[in-house]
Structure 1
Amino acid sequence: MNDRLRIAHSPCPNDTFVFHAWTAGLLPGCPPPTVTLADIDVTNGMAERGELDVLKISYAALPYVLDKYALLPTGGALGHGCGPLVLTRQACAPADLAGRVVAIPTERSTAYLLFRFWAQQAWPGAQVRTVVLPFHEIMPAVRDGVVDAGLVIHEARFTYHTYGLHCLVDLGQAWEGRTGLPIPLGAIVGRRSLGAERLAQITAAIRASVRHAWADPDASRAYVRQHAQEMAPDVLEGHIGLYVNPYTEDLGVGGLAAVRTMLDLAAAAGLVPPVRADALAPPTPANPVPAA
């Protein structure tokens, strides 16, 4: 990896924790890349435009970028008990929200796909009304009655009580109850034009960065906190513990099955374009980069 790679991921604690060792030059033989920190909706757009070499994107955005990028089997976010929540100002039944306005962070997200899967069962035949708001504005908007409910992710699992809000449904629990599979949240993709050998090297660098982070968590602590400025230390640690797990080190058979299942269900519901099975194959020198 002689040429300096350009990568982008979110400033969320799980991403800064995972990528710190590589981007800080702590891995022998793995030159640090040039890093852009941006929210997931921004990195989704970057990937669709083919702007950088390696990006963290939502799995929901994967069908739109597989012509340019290959899915890498490490560094991503999947897991159990880490799904998005639908929050309301007052306790209510799902039927009470039929036809109401729900704030969402973006339509190109696993959270939105899981919300649509749930809404189809909770409100059969009812119109789903959503409005896109920046993530940090959603809980205040629900609290203040600007919207009827909010779809939230990440650290909101730990903090929504401080806004006086109620959890109407844990969409991750709904997904796991339906499929028995982990929840696919964030994917790492690499530009196909780099070639299978280079992508395999990048995969090895990210995996080494994950292992370094686990072996020496203090090394990244200041960097992680720097980019999680308003997050309490216990929330920060809980965030990392929830979203950085064995699926981060290696997607594996179970992780890939979760991704395949979610994308197939979303395509069947007309929410994303269909994806060929071989388009998700991990690139290795022995397994040339498949065409999407």
Structure 2
Amino acid sequence: MSNDRTLTLGHSPDSDDAFMFYGLASGKVSNRGWRFKHVIKDIQSLNELALAGTLDITAISVHAYALVADSYSIMTMGASMGDGYGPIIIARSPLTRERLMDSRIAIPGLLTSACLAMQLWLDKPARDIDMLVVPFDKVFQVVSDGEADAGLIIHEGQITYNEHGFHLCIDLGKWWKDLTGLPLPLGINVIKNLFNHTEQSEITEILRDSVIYGLNHLPEAIEYAKQYSRGLNTNKVEQFVSLYVNKWTVDLGEEGKRAIELFLNRAQEKGFIQMSGPIKFV
């Protein structure tokens, strides 16, 4: 495919994604002749755009990859992996797993990896869980108002929930690490299979360069990411970015690939998902 045309590049308005793409968005790394149009949407919207095949390259949930594996490959850069930490379930008072089995839980999207991890932890498919789907930034509010008994928290809420007076019921990333010894795969970048392998590899390396640039120029990349942090101060932004921009973001490696494969294969064995095609990495 010619690199004359502009490629659509989807990512979320979150500080970790902004950090990853700072080098490219600011022109600090070479685009090697490719042109990119940044499409900034929340992760649930990006999942839906990937399902429609709208974007050339995009961040999506690992959960959503099950539905687009026939048309997209996983890029070996840009992954968000929780190494002993991850999405959490919070409540107004401590709730056990047994209590949560029969509780209404507010969630930020059915296709989020957090939702699939919760299903695996509860050992229940989505259809058997009482879930209230709300935007991720409204979960605290609906739990506080009593519309839900508990909330599944992603993004910055993972490090601010106690400031809102909530109790931690479970850290799904810690549970997964204790169970498998692997990081919990949450977000990935994917690229359409209509590109040939050489093109996919070159575009992957451009985006990898952007991640590395951010890590090597931390103060300026954090300052850029701060505008997408929904009011967090610089220290909190740096704390959140450090959680989800790590060695697996630069390169999945064999361990990162195993984590993704195990997460999806275990969910398929349970009947929680149905893979649309084989898992492919580039």
Alpha-carbon distance, 1:275 to partner: 6.0
- SS of 2:119's equivalent? helix
- Offset of residue 2 of structure 1: 3.8
* 4+ residue runs over 4 A deviation: none
> Which residue does 2:191 correspond to in 1?
190
Taking a change above 3 Å as real, the CA distance of residues 32 and 25 of structure 1, as seen in their structure-2 partners, is: farther
Where does residue 271 of structure 2 map in the other structure?
270
Q: Mind listing any 5+ residue stretches in structure 2 that lack a counterpart? A: none
SS in 2 for 1:138: helix
Percent sequence identity over aligned pairs: 31
Size of the aligned set, in residue pairs, is 278
The one of 92, 97, 101 equivalent to 2:100 is 97
- State the TM-score, normalized to the length of structure 2: 0.93
Over the aligned positions, Cα root-mean-square deviation in angstroms equals 1.8
1:20-31 → structure 2 map (5 Å cutoff): 20-30=22-32, 31=34
1:29 Cα deviation from its structure 2 partner: 4.7
Query: Alignment partner of 1:265: what SS?
Result: helix
| Counterpart mapping for 1:50-69 below 5 A | 50-69=53-72
Q: CA deviation at 1:127?
A: 4.2
2:231 pairs with 1:212 = no
| Matched residue SS, 1:73 | coil
1:286 aligned residue = none
> 5+ residue gaps in structure 1?
284-292
**Partner residue in 2 for 1:288:** none
Deviation at 1:96, TM superposition (A): 2.3
Please name the residue that 1:40 is paired with: 43
Normalised to the residue count of structure 1, the TM-score between the two structures is 0.90
Q: Deviations over 1:78-136 (max 9, x none)?
A: 13033111111012322223322001111111111111111128xx9x94211101111
CA contact (8 A) 1:22 1:32 kept: no
**What is aligned with 1:143?**
144
1:1-292 alignment to 2 at 5 Å? 1-30=3-32, 31-120=34-123, 127-274=128-275, 279-283=278-282
CA deviation after TM superposition for structure 1 residue 218, in Å: 2.9
State whether residues 25 and 32 of structure 1, in contact with CA within 8 Å, keep that contact through their aligned partners in structure 2: no
CA distance in 2, matches of 1:55, 1:163: 32
Q: Deviation of residue 282 (structure 1)?
A: 2.5
Cα deviation code 1:167-225 (max 9, x no counterpart): 01111111111111111010110011021111111111011111111111233334312
Per-residue deviation, 1:250: 0.4
Counterpart residue type for residue 117 of structure 1: L
Using the TM superposition, name which of 267-276 and 81-90 deviates more.
Answer: 267-276
Give the counterpart letter for 1:260 in structure 2: E
Over 3 Å counting, the alpha-carbon distance change for 1:29 and 1:59 in structure 2 is closer
Q: Which amino acid aligns with 1:34?
A: K
User: Alpha carbons of 1:75 and 1:164: their partners in 2 closer, same or farther (altered >3 Å)?
Assistant: same
* Cα distance between partner residues in 2 of 1:148 and 1:49: 33
Please say if residues 48 and 64 of structure 1, whose CA atoms lie closer than 8 Å, have aligned partners that are also in contact.
Answer: yes
CA contact (8 A) 2:114 2:152 kept: yes
Could you tell me whether the CA contact under 8 Å between 2:69 and 2:280 is conserved in 1?
no
CA contact (8 A) 1:79 1:245 kept: no
Residues 143 and 163, structure 1, Cα contact 8 Å, conserved in 2: no
Q: CA 1:195/1:89 → structure 2, altered by over 3 Å: closer, same or farther?
A: same
